[in-house]
């Protein structure tokens, strides 16, 4: 693994790479308030071993990338009014394109999870010439009619909490959230979650950054009509037991994007359980192989 920071779209983006630069590039985009560490080393190395050059990075306001501290945090009124503060999902999509430019990557396979899926869709809609394939995991179209969280999760997450008093409290808060939204069909890996939460805290603990990203999510448009115009080969994966972004979000994407394919995982919630890494990475490797891509371009539209 190699790590560095680049100037992209007027900000700094911290990233890691795995594998040989001469191999086809896969860029991984993570979700809300989640650092690139959530794409585990093992997950990335599996893709690299399959002959892919893997790039994972921290979104703005996360990890070691630029944080917008000077803008403070959006208020409740901003969030309820769906006002971005101070940037939109479009700006985060421009960050991805800026990263590709900085790394001299012309066309890539793009993978987005949760908010990263919103960002990846936006890149594909605005800059389709930069995308070879699109993989979308536990995400939605931006429509408020689909992908809605369960009432239990909505009520729990709506409770505003003060920033964690220290590292230990922040770690336990992370575990609490993942026990709420994670995969009930698979054992919770508390040790791994604690390790990631602790390292994330050490790199950058920024509750206001979470709220700024959330404001961008709430202000996003419904992309359904734009998705219908995409021609990029697309794979949609979703946990069938996701309580945060219901499977209706992933199914709506698969219905909108021509010739896309939907894969649902029983027992999977809003996370990437270790037990499913082989299945998820195999799906990505298959999509990003040249022959399956050509076959997918010629396949009839999915009837998800």
Label residue 160 by pLDDT band (50, 70, 90). low
Q: How far apart are the C-alpha atoms of 108 and 121, rounded to whole Å? A: 13
Q: State the DSSP string of 11-42.
A: EEEEEEEES-TTSPEEEEE--TT--GGGS-HH
CATH homologous superfamily of 2-156+206-298: Alpha/Beta hydrolase fold, catalytic domain (3.40.50.1820)
Q: For 198, list phi and psi in degrees, rounded to 5.
A: -65, -45
Q: Is the pTM of this model over 0.75?
A: yes
Res 50 pLDDT > 50? yes
What's the confidence (pLDDT) of residue 130?
A: 98
Label residue 228 by pLDDT band (50, 70, 90). very high
CA 284, chain centre distance (Å): 14
Instruction: Tell which residue, 17, 21, 19, 24, has the closest CA to residue 289.
Output: 24
Instruction: Tell which residue, 259, 240, 26, 258, has the closest CA to residue 250.
Output: 240
Instruction: Tell which residue, 196, 193, 203, 211, has the closest CA to residue 157.
Output: 211
8 Å CB contact between 213 and 115? yes
Q: Mean pLDDT over residues 249-254, rounded? A: 98
What's the confidence (pLDDT) of residue 157?
A: 75
What's the confidence (pLDDT) of residue 165?
A: 92
Res 300 pLDDT > 90? no
Res 21 pLDDT > 90? yes
Instruction: Tell which residue, 235, 247, 236, 244, has the closest CA to residue 271.
Output: 244
User: Which tokens is 261 given?
Assistant: 């394919």
What's the confidence (pLDDT) of residue 167?
A: 96
User: Which tokens is 7 given?
Assistant: 């100037």
Res 133 pLDDT > 60? yes
Instruction: Tell which residue, 168, 173, 255, has the closest CA to residue 207.
Output: 173
Lowest mean pLDDT among 74-78, 88-92, 164-168, 201-205: 74-78
Prior bond to 86 cis, omega within 30?
yes
Residue 6 burial by Cβ neighbours in a 10 Å radius (0-12, 13-18, 19+): middle
Label residue 301 by pLDDT band (50, 70, 90). very low
The residues near 249 (Cβ < 8 Å, ≥ 6 apart) are 139, 140, 141, 146, 147, 238
Residues 65, 69, 70, 71, Cα dihedral to 10°: 100
Q: Mean pLDDT over residues 21-42, rounded? A: 97
Label residue 292 by pLDDT band (50, 70, 90). very low
Q: For 56, list phi and psi in degrees, rounded to 5.
A: -120, 145
β-strand pairing of 108-113 with 25-29: parallel
8 Å CB contact between 99 and 6? yes
Q: Mean pLDDT over residues 116-129, rounded? A: 98
Q: DSSP state, 220?
A: P
* % of the chain exceeding 90 in pLDDT: 88
Buried b (16+ CB within 10 A) or exposed e, 248-270: bbbbbbbbbbbbbbbbbbeebbb
- CA distances 80 to 75, 89, 215, Å, are 9, 17, 9
Q: DSSP state, 168?
A: H
Indicate the domain borders of the chain: 2-156+206-298
């Amino acid at each position: 693994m190699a790590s560095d920071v680049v100037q992209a779209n007027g900000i700094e983006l911290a990233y890691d790479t795995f594998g040989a630069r001469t191999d086809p590039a896969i860029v991984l985009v993570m979700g809300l308030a989640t650092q690139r560490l959530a794409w585990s080393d093992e997950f990335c190395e599996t893709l690299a071993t399959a002959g892919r050059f893997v790039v994972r990075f921290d979104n703005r306001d996360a990890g070691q990338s630029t944080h917008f501290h000077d803008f403070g945090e959006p208020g409740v009124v901003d969030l309820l009014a769906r006002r971005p503060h101070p940037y939109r999902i479009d700006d985060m999509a421009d960050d991805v394109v800026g990263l590709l430019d900085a790394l001299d990557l012309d066309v890539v396979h793009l993978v987005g999870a949760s908010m990263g899926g919103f960002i990846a869709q936006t890149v594909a809609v605005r800059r389709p010439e930069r995308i070879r394939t699109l993989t979308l995991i536990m995400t939605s179209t931006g429509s408020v009619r689909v992908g809605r969280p369960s009432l239990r999760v909505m009520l729990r997450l709506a409770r505003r909490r003060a920033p964690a008093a220290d590292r230990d409290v922040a770690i336990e808060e992370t575990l609490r959230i993942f026990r709420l939204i994670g995969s009930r069909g698979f054992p919770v890996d508390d040790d791994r979650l604690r390790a990631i939460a602790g390292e994330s805290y050490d790199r950058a603990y920024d509750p206001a950054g979470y709220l700024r990203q959330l404001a961008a999510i709430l202000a996003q448009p419904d992309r359904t009509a734009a998705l219908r115009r995409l021609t990029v080969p697309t794979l949609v994966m979703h946990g069938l037991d996701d309580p945060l972004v219901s499977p209706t979000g992933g199914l709506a994407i698969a219905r909108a994007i021509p010739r896309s394919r939907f894969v649902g995982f029983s027992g999977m919630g809003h996370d990437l359980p270790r037990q499913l890494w082989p299945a998820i990475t195999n799906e990505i490797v298959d999509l990003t192989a040249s022959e399956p891509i050509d076959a997918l371009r010629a396949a009839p539209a999915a009837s998800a």
